[in-house]
Amino acid sequence: MNRRNMLWSAISALGAALGASSAKAASEATPSSKLKVAYHLSDAEKVNFVLGSIQNHIDGVGGPEHVTIALVIHGPALKAFHAAQANLDLSKRIGEFSKDGVELAACGNTMKAQNVTLKELLPGFVSAEKGGVVRLAELQSQGYLYLRP
């Protein structure tokens, strides 16, 4: 019985040591392991909410250098980012995101449907030529976490 207790204690101690080592490794993020997040926006009524969520995300991790964010926009939400229709606050926020390195991808299919070019969108946008949903799938295959607030 005594041997059994000693063996069990040794196995438990080994398991605890391995668990502590794994926890320490997980908590020590390296620059190459910074979180990558793809935000999906298609609902026009959620534009301000999603932009606020992205800003909260950047602030929550301690700044844009601690996270890689892509915002993929398609459908009715893209109209809010037409330069001619965008309000001053939205233009300023998008400009800050662009400076912070946020990828701003506009769905190529939606751009065609809305008869708008990249030049007519707020500065900083790139075209997701194959479509917004294709770009989201590409980002996910590259390890981005998917968020649709």
3 state SS of 22: helix
In CATH, the architecture of 35-147 is 3-Layer(aba) Sandwich (3.40)
pLDDT given at position 67: 97
Under a CB-based contact definition with an 8 Å cutoff, are residues 130 and 108 in contact? yes
pLDDT given at position 9: 57
Alpha-carbon dihedral angle through residues 128, 129, 134, 138, given to the nearest 10 degrees: -70
- Token look-up 């101690």 returns 13
Tokens of 36: 């990558």
pLDDT given at position 33: 75
pLDDT (tens place) for every residue of the chain, 149 residues total: 565 555 455 555 545 444 444 444 444 444 557 899 999 999 999 999 999 999 999 999 999 999 999 999 999 999 999 999 899 999 999 999 999 999 999 999 999 999 999 999 999 999 999 999 999 999 999 999 999 99
